[in-house]
Structure 1
Amino acid sequence: MLRLDGVSKTYKVGALARKDLHAVRDVSFELRPGEVVSLIGESGSGKSTIGRMILRLTRATSGTITFDGTDIATLRRGSLKEYYRAAQGVFQDPFSTFNPVFKADRVLTMIRQVYFPGTGDVEWRGRVDDALSAVSLNPDQVLDKYPHQLSGGQLQRLLIARALLLDIRLLVADEVISMLDASTRIDVLNLLADLKERGLAVLFITHDLSLGNYLADRTVILRRGSVVECGATSAVFGDPVHPYTRTLLASVPRLGIRWSDEDLDPGPCRYHAVHPGGGPPLAEVGDDHLVACFAGNDERECV
């Protein structure tokens, strides 16, 4: 359904924009219907930039992003509008999405104005009630309220309900639970899992490995804008190959255990075990399990 092929993003920075900042480098992966893919990496690794490129909020410098076989960079006007009917995003800070001077349900009204201008009041209220019910919200408790009168979890679920009004097929969830308390987090995670069961594809962008492991079918690990390891979540978490992945997993806090760098040595570079003379950006080291060169440079000369 969604496919990224060699996608890169470069920003011009510095005095007179003479320097290049490579935010994303040659990223490739795909997202299938009814699948959750976790995009995991530390702050500044390029996760949100990839999400914004998928949503056409930022243009890729090179490479292609295709949805149902169509390059989204070629979409214009009506075709772009239809793309947004199928693909929507929910972002980290729900409060920044809402204008505080308007009531929160204005985000639903805007969907009606753009996509359902001919829908009657009774039919529209039925659609809204169904969307709110799907995200476990009571219409009487959230409609006709200002953003400051609702919790972060309620606002986040209201944004997901807005996406559901469009019968979307792809949801880009960018750090959607990082600002929520623990009790609300599990509600939103279970909501995403339920949407997955209905056939919705979710790109789950996070820096929290435990959440990615809980929710995702497949995992993509990013470091400095490049994919260093990817594949089935059970493979990436169960047998981490790249030193960066192993370090990330070892950094997850565990009760009663202090962090240690013991047993982090992954041994010889597994990339070169498969491609001794160099080759593609990622090497297959197992069933649905790919890894990059351990050196993390373009020359791949770590052996």
Structure 2
Amino acid sequence: MSELLRVEHLTKIFTSGLIGGYEIRAVDDVSFEVKPGEIVSLVGESGSGKTTVGKLILRLLTPTSGRILFEGEDITTFSKKRLKSDYYRKVQAVFQDPFASFNPLHIVDSAFYMVFDSYFPELDREEREELIDSALRDVGLNPSEVRGKYPHQLSGGQLQRILIARALLLRPKLLIADEAVSMLDASTRVDVLNLLGEFRDKYGTSVIFITHDLALGYYISDSTIIMYRGTIVEMGDTEKVFHNPLHPYTKMLLESVPDLNVKWEFRKITPEKEESAVYAIEGCRYAPRCSKAKEICFKVRPELIEVEKNHWVACHLYR
């Protein structure tokens, strides 16, 4: 088995409203895999479904259909007890808002104590303190400067590093980083990204890096998955996706990145249909915004095809 994680035909449907509401297929027939030691970026704008995919893999949401295979086992069949005792020892997460991840009434050390109580109850106090200090140093923090502090006494960058230290305390095989650097300043973002890369190299930890920022995804990832309105439109080796984009949506995203050497010209935004109509389109959901859309694009959903080795696109232009 070459992959650590395999997602097969994953679908999540939400219903808007109580009476007469419409269905939103937030994740629609998504399939991909993550190999051991690989960093995969899920990239897309708000509403693309990338965060929902992360929550489904973490079992914070229950899939409507599809399978999530981790080390060959379908974790959608796991009980809550097995998720906590087995799965969450191997799969950890770091979320967008570091301040929301801590109890403001407790010192930040308590985040580590919860991990020990759940997974290492046999360790005595001295062993726990040594492990906390070691984990903090691993993420570039001086234990004496952050321990015993409350969340409001620390910066967002310090808190995010503490969360990474806590997650990596378990030496997980997979780390899901959901917009984990979006609230940090530019210099701190690079430091945190480098940390993720270092832990991948040191411990073989795989990472699913969820972001709306193309530059960050390009900087950190081996493979990139481009999502739009719950579907995968393009995926493959990061270098190929960024330097030879195939899908019109991927091209539009890359063209939207500001170039410091060119004077800006504001791009005219093509208005979308209302949200319920976009999700109800039978064909390509990007068709209403696509200048190259044909009649078939509105009627038939394109399948992912491998145009070149390790580079897939879902677009009728490449049939």
**TM-score, structure 1 length as denominator?**
0.90
The Cα of 1:124 is off from its aligned counterpart by: 1.2
Report the equivalent of 2:210: 205
Report the equivalent of 2:260: 255
Report the equivalent of 2:43: 40
**Superposition CA RMSD, Å:** 2.4
**TM-score, structure 2 length as denominator?**
0.85
- For the 8 Å contact 1:241–1:266, the answer to whether it is kept is no
Which string of whole-angstrom CA distances, capped at 9 and with x for unpartnered residues, describes residues 224-272 of structure 1?
01000000001100100000000000001110312577xxx99799x99
Q: Structure 2: give runs of 5+ residues left out of the alignment.
A: 268-289
Secondary structure at 1:229 match in 2: strand
Secondary structure at 1:34 match in 2: coil
The answer to whether the aligner puts 1:133 opposite 2:128 as a matched pair is no
Which residue of the other structure, out of 65, 69, 74, is the alignment partner of 2:68? 65
Which residue of the other structure, out of 131, 134, 159, is the alignment partner of 1:155? 159
- Counterpart Cα distance in 1 of 2:186 and 2:266: 27
Compared CA separation, residues 206 and 225, structure 1 to 2 (3 A): same
The answer to whether the aligner puts 1:86 opposite 2:90 as a matched pair is yes
Secondary structure at 1:100 match in 2: coil
1:231-270 matched pairs, under 5 angstroms: 231-257=236-262, 258-259=264-265
The answer to whether the aligner puts 1:96 opposite 2:100 as a matched pair is yes
- Counterpart Cα distance in 1 of 2:132 and 2:15: 43
Report the equivalent of 1:291: 313
- For the 8 Å contact 2:94–2:164, the answer to whether it is kept is yes
- Counterpart Cα distance in 1 of 2:47 and 2:91: 24
Q: Indicate the percent of aligned positions where both proteins have the same amino acid.
A: 52
The Cα of 1:14 is off from its aligned counterpart by: 2.1
Q: Give structure 1 regions of 4+ aligned residues with deviation exceeding 3 angstroms.
A: 265-269
- 224-233 vs 95-104, greater mean Cα deviation: 95-104
The answer to whether the aligner puts 1:6 opposite 2:9 as a matched pair is yes
User: Residue type of the partner of 2:305?
Assistant: A
The Cα of 1:15 is off from its aligned counterpart by: 3.6
Q: Structure 1: give runs of 5+ residues left out of the alignment.
A: 273-277, 296-301
The answer to whether the aligner puts 1:182 opposite 2:178 as a matched pair is no
Which residue of the other structure, out of 223, 226, 247, is the alignment partner of 1:218? 223
Give the count of matched residue pairs.
289
Which string of whole-angstrom CA distances, capped at 9 and with x for unpartnered residues, describes residues 85-126 of structure 1?
100111100001111111111111111111111111121122
Compared CA separation, residues 267 and 77, structure 1 to 2 (3 A): closer
